[in-house]
A and B are shown apart, each in its own frame.
Chain A
Amino acid sequence: MAKILIVDDEPHIRLLLEQTLEDFEDDGVELIMAENGAEALEIIKAERPNLVFLDVMMPKMNGFDVCKAVKNELAMDDVYIVLLTAKGQESEKHQGLDVGADVYLTKPFNPDEIQAMTSNILGLA
């Protein structure tokens, strides 16, 4: 059963992502939430989600560091990471891809795009 982890310190953004993705629950996908980087890292280690939507600016541990830990230190290549940032600076995009993120999106994101991306990555029609 596929798992998607949603990580953002803003509850409204978590809610938005949850509602955007809740139709996938009908396909048996499990949605998991985390409020900060440290919690996210614990969940990733324990649950090994297939897909992570990861905010960048968060307390405790930022998205870049989580991404680096997952992709480099834990070498969990099969965890697909989508970085979501509100900064929208180009230098950050490079930084994001440097730490191993698979995709880098700026907020505000388009829910349609998130849905399309998800079914693509999880191989759902």
Chain B
Amino acid sequence: MTMYPADSKILIVDDDAFVREMLSSILEASGYRITTAEDGVDALEKYEADQEIQLIVSDVNMPRMDGIRLIQELKARNLEVPIIMVTSVNSISVAVDALSSGAIDYVLKDEGIQETIEITVKRALEKHQIKQHNKRLVAELAAKTREQENTLSYLNAIIGHIPDGLLVTNERARITLVNPALGGMFRQAAGPVVGRDCRELFADTLGPILDAISPTERTAVTVQVALEGGRIGSAIGTAVYRRVEGEEDEFIGYLIIVRDITHQKEIERMKDDFVSTVSHELRTPLTSVLGFAKLIAKKLDGVIFPLVPRDDPKVERAVRQIGDNVGIIITEGERLTKLINEVLDLSKMEAGKVEWHLAEAEAGELVKRALDATAGLFTEENLTLVEEIDPDLPRLYCDHDRIMQVLINLLSNARKFTDQGQIRVRVGKAEMGGEAAVVFAVSDTGCGIARENLAAVFDKFKQVGDLLTDRPKGTGLGLPICRQIVEYHGGTVEVESELGRGSTFSFVLPAAADRG
């Protein structure tokens, strides 16, 4: 605590000039600064005008306003200044009055006043300072408490209004806090739950999340849970740590947030239904269009055209054109079919709705099957197909049909964009993040892809259009699907290409982890 300054300013109030003089000189000698007033009214004025005054030493009996009134007036004005009353020897009762009115002390006007005034002033200043200090402490404490209460009620208000359910437990899974939203989500949380074991109380909903959270790995766990009234929730749980200065963070419990995703699910389902309904509605007319076009083509070639006399060049041209036109209807119909299949496929994949059938596989075997399936494409004389399969490859764990789909896609692209030269399929050992892997690469000597278009070929509906003018148009969905499939398996796809010289599309799949 800082001591009051030794040169504190003191206001001496007395109607007797002699007493004023005397007291002034005593206190001045002790180093105080002095100012004086002649009565209560004068004192009030002076005190109010001078902020430096720290103590008043006042006579009791004075004209206009006496000492007691002065105390009352100061109090009434909320002015907090200690007052020492100087009283006559024969009026002890006045001293008592003064003290009970709020004087900090009193001195008797006798011959000992010389010593007593000095001591009393010093004590009064000290006492006042301690009082002020205490008052400040109390005020600070009150402010702190208020601040904390504010923060707490602020946090409570927030937690109370979070639309997601919130549940917190201690490190032994005992519930320490839940918010109102959680109460609306679980029947078990409707009553008081603090102190209950989360694993027990929410045995088939939130409990299992705690077991899935590893307190050492700081990852959140997300689980779908059934909520009250047939609703669906997504619960995300995590371990909670308290930061401890200079030590490892302390594990203090679990936190679970539950969001009602019923509506989201409904929208997803509707989108899904929509895609499959549209696909169904398109397929039915397409079946007739494509089927009849094929029957027509067959009947034209087999029955009609042989009977048509070709002497007239007009007839000859019409026959040729009809044949071509039906052919176009068939190709375009097939492209439309492919588009429908691929849109359905891709939307399923993006929604995570594909059923994957994972099994061990031999990379070479998959490639051979893909080549068998596409054999019909490679009948052109000026196009050779080269296989290069490492006989000693690690085994894969994958969806056979889907990986075949990728290979067939890459092979038919290679064929589609290559007029002559070579298409080479290579399967070899590779590495992914230090682990064994298998790389599949399909290279061609075709038209290639310009550098600026390379990045886009894996995007939906992106086709490097200009190069395609004389080729059957594709859908632009083949490569995005390939990427989805490969990435689902934890692999990566890549393309290298040089315009006019050819392209290499490749993908790497991680080898099957050693089982058993």
Q: Do A and B bind each other?
A: yes
A5 nearest CB across to chain B (Å): 18
**B356 and chain A: residue at smallest CB distance:** A90
Q: Which residues of B contact A106 (CB under 8 A)?
A: 283
In the complex, B409 has a CB within 8 A of chain A: no
In the complex, B72 has a CB within 8 A of chain A: no
Find B283's partner among A16, A20, A88, A112 (CB 8 Å cutoff): A88
B219 nearest CB across to chain A (Å): 31
In the complex, B295 has a CB within 8 A of chain A: yes
In the complex, A45 has a CB within 8 A of chain B: no
In the bound complex, what is the Cα–Cα distance between A109 and B290 (angstroms)?
9
Given A86-B283, A107-B283, A108-B333, A16 and B288 contact (CB-CB distance below 8 Å): yes
Contact assessment for A86 and B291 in the assembled complex, using a CB-CB cutoff below 8 Å = no
In the complex, A120 has a CB within 8 A of chain B: no
B339 nearest CB across to chain A (Å): 12
Contact assessment for A87 and B354 in the assembled complex, using a CB-CB cutoff below 8 Å = no
**B340 and chain A: residue at smallest CB distance:** A88
In the bound complex, what is the Cα–Cα distance between A20 and B291 (angstroms)?
9
Contact assessment for B276 and A87 in the assembled complex, using a CB-CB cutoff below 8 Å = yes
Q: Which residues of A contact B298 (CB under 8 A)?
A: 111
Which A residues from 1 to 36 make CB contacts under 8 A with B? 10, 12-13, 16, 19-20
In the complex, B247 has a CB within 8 A of chain A: no
Given A16-B288, A20-B291, A108 and B355 contact (CB-CB distance below 8 Å): no
Contact assessment for A108 and B287 in the assembled complex, using a CB-CB cutoff below 8 Å = yes
**B333 and chain A: residue at smallest CB distance:** A108
A8 nearest CB across to chain B (Å): 9
**A56 and chain B: residue at smallest CB distance:** B280
In the bound complex, what is the Cα–Cα distance between A90 and B276 (angstroms)?
12
A25 nearest CB across to chain B (Å): 15
Q: Is the interface of B mostly helix, strand, loop or mixed?
A: helix
Contact assessment for A108 and B276 in the assembled complex, using a CB-CB cutoff below 8 Å = no
Contact assessment for B295 and A90 in the assembled complex, using a CB-CB cutoff below 8 Å = no
In the bound complex, what is the Cα–Cα distance between A94 and B355 (angstroms)?
11
Contact assessment for A13 and B341 in the assembled complex, using a CB-CB cutoff below 8 Å = no
Contact with B along A101-125 (1 / 0, CB 8 A): 0000011111110000000000000
In the bound complex, what is the Cα–Cα distance between A11 and B292 (angstroms)?
13
Contact assessment for B280 and A109 in the assembled complex, using a CB-CB cutoff below 8 Å = no
In the bound complex, what is the Cα–Cα distance between A106 and B344 (angstroms)?
13
Question: How many of A's residues come within 8 Å of B, CB to CB?
Answer: 21
B310 nearest CB across to chain A (Å): 27
Given A107-B283, A107-B284, A108-B286, A89 and B276 contact (CB-CB distance below 8 Å): yes
In the bound complex, what is the Cα–Cα distance between A125 and B280 (angstroms)?
34
Contact assessment for A108 and B291 in the assembled complex, using a CB-CB cutoff below 8 Å = yes
Contact assessment for A112 and B294 in the assembled complex, using a CB-CB cutoff below 8 Å = yes
Given A20-B295, A112-B294, A90 and B354 contact (CB-CB distance below 8 Å): yes
Contact assessment for A111 and B294 in the assembled complex, using a CB-CB cutoff below 8 Å = yes
In the complex, B279 has a CB within 8 A of chain A: yes
Given A108-B337, A109-B287, A57 and B280 contact (CB-CB distance below 8 Å): yes
Find B279's partner among A10, A20, A88, A90 (CB 8 Å cutoff): A88
B275 nearest CB across to chain A (Å): 10
Contact assessment for B283 and A13 in the assembled complex, using a CB-CB cutoff below 8 Å = no
Q: Which residues of B contact A89 (CB under 8 A)?
A: 276, 344, 348
Which B residues from 275 to 308 make CB contacts under 8 A with A? 276, 279-280, 283-284, 286-292, 294-295, 298
Q: Which residues of A contact B292 (CB under 8 A)?
A: 16, 19
A90 nearest CB across to chain B (Å): 6
In the bound complex, what is the Cα–Cα distance between A19 and B295 (angstroms)?
8
In the bound complex, what is the Cα–Cα distance between A71 and B363 (angstroms)?
38
Contact assessment for B291 and A16 in the assembled complex, using a CB-CB cutoff below 8 Å = yes
Contact with A along B221-257 (1 / 0, CB 8 A): 0000000000000000000000000000000000000
A91 nearest CB across to chain B (Å): 6
Contact assessment for B284 and A86 in the assembled complex, using a CB-CB cutoff below 8 Å = yes
Contact with A along B372-394 (1 / 0, CB 8 A): 00000000000000000000000
Find B288's partner among A13, A57, A88, A90 (CB 8 Å cutoff): A13
Q: Which of B283, B288, B289, B291 has most chain A Cβ within 10 Å?
A: B291
In the bound complex, what is the Cα–Cα distance between A55 and B287 (angstroms)?
12
Given A108-B287, A109-B287, A87 and B355 contact (CB-CB distance below 8 Å): no
In the bound complex, what is the Cα–Cα distance between A124 and B341 (angstroms)?
33
Residues of chain A at the chain B interface (Cβ within 8 Å): 10, 12-13, 16, 19-20, 57, 86-91, 94, 106-112
Extra contacts besides A19-B295, A86-B280, A111-B291 (6): CB < 8 Å:
A13-B291, A88-B279, A90-B355, A94-B355, A108-B337, A109-B287
**What are 12 A-B pairs with beta-carbon distances under 8 A?**
A10-B288, A16-B287, A16-B295, A19-B295, A20-B295, A86-B279, A88-B279, A88-B283, A88-B341, A89-B348, A108-B333, A108-B337
5 closest A-B pairs by CB: A86-B283, A108-B287, A107-B287, A12-B288, A16-B291
